[in-house]
Amino acid sequence: MVKLRAGLIGLGMMGRHHARVLGETDGVELVAVADAYGDPHGVAADMPLRNTVEELIAHGLDMVVCAVPTGLHEEVGLALAEAGIHTLIEKPIASTVDGGLRLAEAFEAKGLVGAVGHIERYNPALQSLRARLENADLGTVYQIATRRQGPFPARIADVGVIKDLGTHDIDLTAWLAQSEYQSVSARATTRSGREHEDMVAATGQLANGIITSHLVNWLSPMKERVTVVTGERGSFLADTLTADLTFYENGTISTQWDSVANFRGVSEGNVTRLAIPKREPLKVEHEAFRDAVLAARGESSTAPETPAAQIVTMREGLNTLRVAEAMVDSSREARTIRLQD
Helix, strand, coil content of the chain in percent (nearest 5): 35, 25, 40
Please give the pLDDT value at position 307: 46
- N- to C-terminal Cα distance for the chain? 42
pLDDT of residue 73: 97
User: What pLDDT is recorded for position 29?
Assistant: 97
Cα–Cα separations (whole angstroms), residue 98 to 94, 211, 316: 8, 27, 14
Q: What is the dihedral of CA 277, 282, 288, 294, to 10 degrees?
A: -130
Residues 6+ apart with CB under 8 A from 296: 86, 111, 112, 113
The predicted structure's pLDDT at residue 255:
59
The chain-wide mean pLDDT, for the chain, equals: 92
Average pLDDT, integer, range 66-86: 97
Q: What percent of the chain has pLDDT over 90?
A: 85
84 falls in which pLDDT band (50, 70, 90)?
Answer: very high
**Torsions phi, psi of 276, nearest 5?**
-135, 150
Average pLDDT rounded to a whole number, residues 21-33: 97
pLDDT digits (tens, 9 = 90+) for 193-251: 788 899 999 999 999 999 999 999 999 999 999 999 999 999 999 999 999 999 999 98
pLDDT at 32: 98
pLDDT tens-digit profile of 108-151? 999 999 999 999 999 999 999 999 999 999 999 999 999 999 99
Residue type, 49: L
Residues of the chain with pLDDT > 70, as a percent, come to: 92
306 pLDDT higher than 50: no
Number of DSSP helices (H) and strands (E) in the chain, helices first? 10, 15
Position 267 confidence tier, pLDDT thresholds 50, 70, 90:
confident
